[in-house]
Structure 1
């Protein structure tokens, strides 16, 4: 179980309805947000996947030969992903990974073509350490999309995150989502 003493802003599984509903699909449609970065056969990592809002759609995008690794701190969130995947016959494409609070902890053989960190980087205890770990499993030329909510992350704080990510050695490719949050597309 995750550390309830951590004072970070982790969205509880009790509120997962807010993370996956028809209204959100109108504003943040997964195909529009990540579709151009994912192709058939890709390995995709959904960090802080919550109830699987992006994971389910990305599993459809990677086709028969690809896979999605859905990572979350809360086992209850992963259980929701598991149920949705089973219902949509996508269980064989989605690997569930319950991470500890202070690291992602994926197997060393994971190499991702695309990594999504949507509205969750601000929830990590140390974004620099977190992104250093992302760098270890993102393929050379692979892409990572980071999106942070304006209501949680100030412009000043996001600029510091961008600078920290550059210092780690990521290449900044741009700000693909002008609306709907503070975004950053990076590669190694």
Structure 2
């Protein structure tokens, strides 16, 4: 799901990830590249962003944006993240993974966390950015579909991650940063 700059500032969110030049990043459910593009600027030419999505038109949009900004470090991958090894990325290759605004759409939420764990290197990081579950709003999915923060922590820890800290996800989102154990 694509987010609007009026309530989620991608530059501010991505800055909190503490990415470095040369990092390899997987953006799970990249949508229209709302976080992909700013992350690609940070990791630079020696880094790589893998933009993963099941919607082929979203991947086309990301490729178009990358061309417009002359970003050659973005690879789009059609992925069904509810399937084992659905990212098509080799194990232990990624420094940082992002799961943003997709959990409410998934039936098998465990699979996406297990896949993030599989592709992350030892001590790799995972950011989860999801819709706040307590704020009544016309924005985003219905409240009953939103995943509470505690459930996201449970899903991540069940997959082998440890919660490091929370980060500012904006007015309508919560942000959690995990480390692969």
What do the CA deviations read for 1:79-99 (whole angstroms, capped 9, x no partner)? Answer: 000111111111x20000001
Residue 98 (1) aligns with residue 114 (2): no
TM-score (norm 1): 0.79
Matches for 1:1-188 after TM superposition, within 5 Å:
11=1, 19=2, 24-36=4-16, 37-90=18-71, 92-100=72-80, 102-103=82-83, 104-108=86-90, 111-150=93-132, 152=141, 157-177=148-168, 179-180=170-171, 181-188=173-180
Paired residues, number: 167
Conservation of the 8 A alpha-carbon contact between 1:171 and 1:187:
yes
Conservation of the 8 A alpha-carbon contact between 2:56 and 2:78:
yes
Instruction: Answer 1 or 2: which has greater strand percent.
Output: 2
Report the more deviating stretch, 71-80 or 165-174. 165-174
Report the more deviating stretch, 56-65 or 29-38. 29-38
What do the CA deviations read for 1:33-85 (whole angstroms, capped 9, x no partner)? Answer: 12242110000111111111111111111112001000001000000001111
Tell me by how many angstroms 1:179 deviates.
4.0
Structure 2 residue runs of 5 or longer lacking an equivalent are 134-140
TM-score (norm 2): 0.82
Pair 1:128–1:163, CA change in 2 (3 A): same
Quote the RMSD (CA, aligned, Å): 2.2
Structure 1 residue runs of 5 or longer lacking an equivalent are 1-10, 12-18
**Moved beyond 6 Å, runs of 4+:** none
